[in-house]
Amino acid sequence: VKLADLTTPALLVEAEVLDANLRAMAAALPGARLRPHVKAHKCTALARRQAAFGHLGFTCATVREVEGMAAAGLGHDLLLANEVLDAHRLGGLDARVTVAVDSGETVEAAARGGVREVLIDVNVGLPRCGCAPEDAGRLAELARARGLGVRGVMGYEGHLMLAPEREKRAAGTEQAMERLARAHAAVGGEVVSAGGTGTFDLNRLATEIQAGSYALMDTAYAKLGLPFRPALSLLATVISVSPGYAVADCGLKALGMDHGAPAIDGARVWFCSDEHVTFAPDAALAVGARMRVWPAHVDPTVAYHERLFVVAGEEVLDVWPVDLRGW
Ligand SMILES: Cc1ncc(COP(=O)(O)O)c(C=O)c1O
């Protein structure tokens, strides 16, 4: 199969770039130092590649992701780095499952659901999930009293991931991790799980880094000068040309737009609508021409699509189902 045979918009992964990204990360954070986050790609075939690079433990964001990873035989050590109340779906899985908890309710749900191990999730500065550091010890005691194994703490410094200056990311991470260290002292356990693509080499406290975007990357992360390159694009077809601009068939229903409009090589993107991207090309384009559109945010982009086409040049090497979609 060739690129020319694909229906557009089609989600493409450059095989060689993906491989280089996985290799670069495995060199920086070998084995269990990285717990790749599957929410970035929602694809067990890609997770299998990460496992082949030596990372056997994975991070998930949804129950569905945990179920899918377990069913795919990738359940060596799955962390659901999120609060869930439907933990009963996790108890019977053929996998080692650890769940984040930040309240009495989520501890109770884990215990009742048959989950055996938890991490105490600590708010380290991102106003999302996580308890106050002062509450972490009490929650750990509560979890142990309910028969749960407490493996340690997690704290995601997501508010810092896209800070453009490396020094700001470093200083912010240092501060965030002071909160997590305080919580860890009260909780105990061997695991301190934190970090992401923007702080993968800056977080000095974490025993494991939860990066996910590094594998496929996006234009937002590409601005940070990290040692990872964009591997993910959308193949689109030019469907209309007007004086000064052109339109391709790749709109906001095919693209995560919360980090801004996508990029097109040799063009300035004006805006996206449902099924269109309008852009000003540097050189004239004909209707029917095909082009690459580079998404600004990898995670929601992938979640819109059913499959990833793994490509080298004009050749489609493989088709990987985005099989961890849904909830
Ligand atoms: C809990 C958690 N850990 C880690 C990550 C790391 O992701 P990324 O590689 O995109 O920085 C995320 C992303 O949002 C997250 O929510």
pLDDT digits (tens, 9 = 90+) for 146-181: 999 999 999 999 999 999 999 999 999 999 999 999
- Across-strand partners of 13? 232, 310
**pLDDT, average across residues 16-37:** 98
253 CA → ligand 1 middle, Å? 23
Choose among 226, 220, 159, 148: nearest CA to 195: 159
Q: Which atom of ligand 1 is nearest to the CA of 81?
A: 1
Amino acid at site 67: E
Q: With cut-offs at 50, 70 and 90, classify the pLDDT of residue 192.
A: very high
- Measure Cα distances from 168 to 56, 113, 171, 234 in Å: 31, 41, 5, 32
Average pLDDT of the chain is 98
**pLDDT, average across residues 21-34:** 98
In short, whether 62's Cβ falls inside 6 Å of ligand 1 is no
pLDDT value of residue 18 = 98
**pLDDT, average across residues 64-68:** 98
In short, whether 211's Cβ falls inside 6 Å of ligand 1 is yes
Handedness of CA 207, 231, 252, 320 (dihedral sign): negative
In short, whether 155's Cβ falls inside 6 Å of ligand 1 is no
pLDDT value of residue 150 = 98
Q: Which atom of ligand 1 is nearest to the CA of 199?
A: 11
In short, whether 107's Cβ falls inside 6 Å of ligand 1 is no
What tokens does 159 get? Answer: 């508010």
In short, whether 198's Cβ falls inside 6 Å of ligand 1 is yes
Would you state the torsion angle of the CA atoms of residues 70, 72, 76, 77, taken in this order, to the nearest 10 degrees?
-50
pLDDT > 70 fraction of the chain, expressed in percent and rounded: 100
252 CA → ligand 1 middle, Å? 22
37 CA → ligand 1 middle, Å? 7
In short, whether 203's Cβ falls inside 6 Å of ligand 1 is no
pLDDT value of residue 319 = 98
Choose among 16, 30, 29, 34: nearest CA to 212: 34
Q: How far apart are CA 157 and CA 91, in angstroms?
A: 28
Choose among 253, 287, 259, 289: nearest CA to 273: 253
What tokens does 50 get? Answer: 């990460």
pLDDT value of residue 91 = 95
How many residues make up the chain in this entry? Answer: 327
How far does CA 226 lie from the centroid of its chain?
Answer: 16
pLDDT value of residue 281 = 98
The model's pLDDT over 307-327, given as tens digits with 9 standing for 90+, comes to 999 999 999 999 999 999 999
**pLDDT, average across residues 302-307:** 98
pLDDT value of residue 132 = 98
In short, whether 179's Cβ falls inside 6 Å of ligand 1 is no
pLDDT value of residue 5 = 97
Strands 97-101 and 191-194: unpaired
Q: With cut-offs at 50, 70 and 90, classify the pLDDT of residue 277.
A: very high
